[in-house]
Structure 1
């Protein structure tokens, strides 16, 4: 009975964490869409997100007593983290540009294609092969996204293109973040802090040249905009973005990789549903069918990848030096993950 009660308490705690995770992520997307409707400065939103990570994560690491990173090879360290920091803010800007031009539901349906690019990039970069079940799941995702695209009432080329660019960039981030965590033996939150700080520094001159200049020269905006409301929404957006990252990692530490993948796919369903309810963007039955098909494909992909990982752990086969290096990095990531220290979805 004691074990049952303990399992029940853990289950309730996981449900609570997922609820906060889903709520913060959905709230962030709804706020961003409303904000961009009258304050069309997506780089500013990305700047706020980067700064919130850079400023708020340090105290969290000290509270959790996460040890500082010891850098043995500074050149190699910079070669790994600089591209990740650039990708972090570039993906953020692309994502915000996409929801500025298309509906949140459609943008997140396009993001369901992330596994496709992850599989392609993993094959190119680390020579990781995929099974037939994985390819079948990818075909389901493509079919669903195609239906959603053809039937999307708010579709435009600019928004769709930026949604695709954001998805590809996030996929690159996933692959290279796994490599960085494995090669540097770094705590995932420590890496997130470093990336947030570097991304803020990289984005600052771009933000000043593009958005700050446009805002300063827009006299009508300066005089008519409700600045207290806008600044509050910007702060809430950054805070919710930071919160959803922290709670996502809390969930990771408590459940299996497969359960987390399902929880992450469920989060996307919640975001799409909440955007349809609160933003009231028009949809058709075929549009909803396409979105649902894409999400089912993502769930099938996660299950297929999980089964493949289990098979690799049971029957490790090394065919080259590259395979040995990859397997070493893979085992390192799995060991970190089992202690609640790894995932690349924060990028």
Structure 2
């Protein structure tokens, strides 16, 4: 009787606040709740996006605080700043500074500009193929939604091929590595420009100081404006010519001041060698301007009509090439153009490049190739976002940063170089503020 009473009492109390001590579930450790897979996949991406958004909000808030301390007149004369464009240009300047100074260091120990150009084209083609394969791998359905796949999906239009679907055979072997007639017809002139431009630039760097090479290349905006004014009959106002002259004058002062400091150590250099170096730098500048004008329409990103009957694959392949494909086939064409002078010049002569190519120099060449790859990708992106003249101005600013880094690394800065840099910066500001003939929305078009 007592046993039954105890059982009934326990049974009645199971739904009350009192617990049944004979219930085994009370003594089991509760299992942890598993988070859904989609929350795990997107947690890292959401945290990164929130962090980037917070940084952007902080930058805007800091800008508002700084503008609050300035008068209305000063605010009207301040240039419009595009943070994304500025960050992209800053990355371009840093990578270009490393690449340019490393190129000069390599050519001092490895005086084979043709061999360096050939290795540069080879490394660039390998990096393009490797990058396209990595992007294609993360286009698989199971990997497309993770953080790396989402990062590739957020790339601006026109950089990556649109036909990558995760299948290596279909996307890479059958499509990326099989050029069409349209690809060959488009890339062949660019590959020729790359071949002549690299050879002449490296040759000039071995004969004359790097500052003098950049001073000759600084004439590119004037040549660009002259082409559009004389050939295309495009009208520019008087401020365009005056600010460009001001800008080029500052660059020339900086470069010639640097050259004056190095003349004492270069007395043994004969006039013929100096003349040939200047001619090589001038040809390299003309090639740069020609390639800039030729590639402008091809690299400019336009809106894709989603109502078109063409598929994205057909439209991208037939109307506009992506930058990875362009860079890959430009490197391949440049490699083939450089192959004949490389074999005849490096294998026939007594002291070939293979004898001077040590492991240390090979490592520098690989790092230089990687830097050049990133530099080319950023340059292609900027070329599609800016006009030809504006891109030339951005390239002038990049050259100033390269010269400044070289001066701080190798020698002391004199008053003439500082004055030249100030003149150039004033010229850049004047061109950006007063010499624009197009609306501002075209100046900072984002991809």
CA separation of 1:140 and 1:14: change in aligned 2, threshold 3 A: closer
Please report how far the alpha carbon of residue 99 of structure 1 lies from its aligned counterpart in structure 2 after TM superposition: 1.9
Structure 2 residue 426 is matched with structure 1 residue 308:
no
Q: Cα deviation per residue 1:218-247 (whole Å; 9 max; x = unaligned)?
A: 17x866x47111111111211111122234
* Structure-2 residue corresponding to 1:129: 235
* Structure-2 residue corresponding to 1:241: 372
* Structure-2 residue corresponding to 1:110: 216
* Structure-2 residue corresponding to 1:54: 125
- Do the aligned partners of 1:25 and 1:271 also contact (CA within 8 Å) in 2? yes
Structure 2 residue 270 is matched with structure 1 residue 270:
no
Q: Partners of 1:12 and 1:127 in 2: how far apart?
A: 34
Please report how far the alpha carbon of residue 208 of structure 1 lies from its aligned counterpart in structure 2 after TM superposition: 1.6
* Structure-2 residue corresponding to 1:297: 427
CA separation of 1:242 and 1:163: change in aligned 2, threshold 3 A: same
SS at match of 2:234: coil
- Do the aligned partners of 2:125 and 2:328 also contact (CA within 8 Å) in 1? yes
Please report how far the alpha carbon of residue 292 of structure 1 lies from its aligned counterpart in structure 2 after TM superposition: 4.5
CA separation of 1:136 and 1:169: change in aligned 2, threshold 3 A: same
- Do the aligned partners of 1:140 and 1:297 also contact (CA within 8 Å) in 2? yes
Please report how far the alpha carbon of residue 272 of structure 1 lies from its aligned counterpart in structure 2 after TM superposition: 0.8
The counterpart of 2:330, out of the listed 176, 195, 200, is 195
Greater mean alpha carbon deviation, residues 237-246 or residues 144-153: 144-153
* Structure-1 residue corresponding to 2:279: 161
CA separation of 1:5 and 1:37: change in aligned 2, threshold 3 A: closer
CA separation of 1:274 and 1:16: change in aligned 2, threshold 3 A: same
- Do the aligned partners of 1:265 and 1:295 also contact (CA within 8 Å) in 2? no
- Do the aligned partners of 1:261 and 1:299 also contact (CA within 8 Å) in 2? no
* Structure-1 residue corresponding to 2:161: 66
Structure 2 residue 337 is matched with structure 1 residue 231:
no
Q: Partners of 2:374 and 2:445 in 1: how far apart?
A: 22
- Do the aligned partners of 2:110 and 2:357 also contact (CA within 8 Å) in 1? no
Structure 2 residue 351 is matched with structure 1 residue 218:
yes
For residues 31-42 of structure 1, what are the structure 2 equivalents within 5 Å?
A: 31-42=102-113
Please report how far the alpha carbon of residue 209 of structure 1 lies from its aligned counterpart in structure 2 after TM superposition: 1.6
The counterpart of 2:291, out of the listed 173, 176, 184, is 173
State the structure with bigger RCO (CA 8 A, min sep 6), 1 or 2.
1
- Do the aligned partners of 2:215 and 2:252 also contact (CA within 8 Å) in 1? no
Of Structure 1 and Structure 2, which has the larger fraction of its residues in helix? 1
Q: Partners of 1:147 and 1:130 in 2: how far apart?
A: 25
- Do the aligned partners of 1:102 and 1:160 also contact (CA within 8 Å) in 2? yes
- TM-score, normalised to structure 2's length? 0.57
* Structure-2 residue corresponding to 1:21: 92
Q: Partners of 1:16 and 1:175 in 2: how far apart?
A: 24
RMSD: 4.0
The counterpart of 2:416, out of the listed 249, 271, 286, is 286
Please report how far the alpha carbon of residue 169 of structure 1 lies from its aligned counterpart in structure 2 after TM superposition: 1.0
Please report how far the alpha carbon of residue 260 of structure 1 lies from its aligned counterpart in structure 2 after TM superposition: 7.5
Structure number with larger C-alpha Rg = 2
Q: Partners of 1:248 and 1:149 in 2: how far apart?
A: 23
Q: Partners of 1:128 and 1:137 in 2: how far apart?
A: 17
Q: Partners of 1:49 and 1:222 in 2: how far apart?
A: 15
Q: Partners of 1:14 and 1:122 in 2: how far apart?
A: 25
SS at match of 1:309: coil
Q: Cα deviation per residue 1:88-112 (whole Å; 9 max; x = unaligned)?
A: 1211111112222222233223322
CA separation of 1:80 and 1:296: change in aligned 2, threshold 3 A: farther
Q: Partners of 1:103 and 1:94 in 2: how far apart?
A: 14
Q: Partners of 1:110 and 1:308 in 2: how far apart?
A: 27
